[in-house]
Structure 1
């Protein structure tokens, strides 16, 4: 595998999409490699169909384990159809969400268990994890207020409609993931203004690459 694989994570309202839109042109200036931006759930035709099922606001009867399995299935299709071919070509793949989201949302907030969700996704991904993850940290109250403020332009999905306590648990889940994988994850304070957050994310990516080049990894 020759390409680079980087993920962006964060609770709802953390601003991942806005940050990615801002820094992607800068990343493309920095490398001569093809840089692909994708997202989960989704990122390919079949995976996007699964996304629609998962996030459809009317699907309130969905069982928690069904939800976790659908995320893993969408992720597998996304990898097979888009991510792995790109990495094997030497492209850079930057994804908005990956396995850490499932651990935080289903493993912790839904109460399924971190190990259970982690192992399910190890099967789905054959152990493929990003070399770097940027975690945009934001308190649930702040994230939800952003969603409410921008609801006329944002996609309001089934998870956005969960109660505050659920989103607080999601953040706690992410903090547990950060504790487990400190060598891979960089925490960014996403409550800062968009320009500051974008600058810190870009610096984290470039510093990671420079460090690898210096050590010969």
Structure 2
């Protein structure tokens, strides 16, 4: 029996990484087999690409080159980790998936959006079963993201304008795919957000089991 594929999306600093980890821990406490992963990354080859796209000068790559790099990383991630885990009946939780590429690269260069979807259909061909969009004011999110420090700040360095556009893009995407997306208010206390996420995830897991 295939497992459930869950993704977390949101602007930088929204708290989605924290929520992904908390959900993984809670579902493991429920006795479920869970794989927690991230994008870009999640497999050795994809982690190497992660360093290329998240570090360095903001203008290091064009939006077109980024799209190809992210797609290559996602394909490796899918082949080596996601598909095998799902086939083994495990629940896979990923911090970002294809929706991030649709929004980030599509926002940076609007004429790329069709190409993002075409490449996804051709090379990836899979969507998550459930996507949590952790929603937050972009200025607050950017402040949080910049406060983390570290070397992976290339996208944060594009500034607040891009973050506002990306939030709007994520919300629009959620409206287009209400069967998959659940929008969660990320401005509340972490434990309150986590409780909402866990409730939705448990219901989805029960529903998926009954459908099979």
Mark yes or no: TM-score above 0.5: yes
- 2:130 maps to what in 1? 132
1:17 lines up with 2:17 in the alignment: yes
**Aligned 8 A contact 1:64 1:112 in 2:** no
The CA deviation at 1:109 is 3.7
- 1:28 maps to what in 2? 28
- Secondary structure of the equivalent of 1:57? coil
Query: 1:67-146 residue pairs with structure 2 within 5 A?
Result: 67-125=66-124, 127-146=125-144
- 2:168 maps to what in 1? 172
Equivalent-residue separation in structure 1 for 2:104 and 2:148 (angstroms): 22
TM-score (norm 1): 0.91
- Secondary structure of the equivalent of 1:128? coil
Label 1:124 to 1:62 Cα distance change in 2 as closer, same or farther (>3 A).
Answer: same
Q: Relative to structure 2, which stretch is displaced further, 92-101 or 105-114? A: 105-114
Question: Which structure 1 residue ranges, 4+ long, deviate > 4 Å from structure 2?
Answer: none
Name structure 1 gaps, 5 residues minimum: none
Number of positions where the alignment pairs a residue of Structure 1 with one of Structure 2: 212
Equivalent-residue separation in structure 1 for 2:56 and 2:172 (angstroms): 28
- Secondary structure of the equivalent of 2:192? helix
Determine which of 184, 189, 208 is the counterpart of 1:188.
184
The CA deviation at 1:210 is 2.7
- 2:200 maps to what in 1? 204
Equivalent-residue separation in structure 2 for 1:26 and 1:56 (angstroms): 32
- 2:147 maps to what in 1? 149
Q: CA RMSD in A?
A: 1.7
TM-score (norm 2): 0.93
Q: Relative to structure 2, which stretch is displaced further, 17-26 or 173-182? A: 17-26
Please list the CA deviations of residues 19-78 of structure 1 after superposition, one character each: whole Å capped at 9, or x if unmatched. Answer: 22223221112244x210000001011001111111112362311110111111100010
The CA deviation at 1:110 is 3.2
Please list the CA deviations of residues 164-203 of structure 1 after superposition, one character each: whole Å capped at 9, or x if unmatched. Answer: 1111111111112112211000000111111111111111
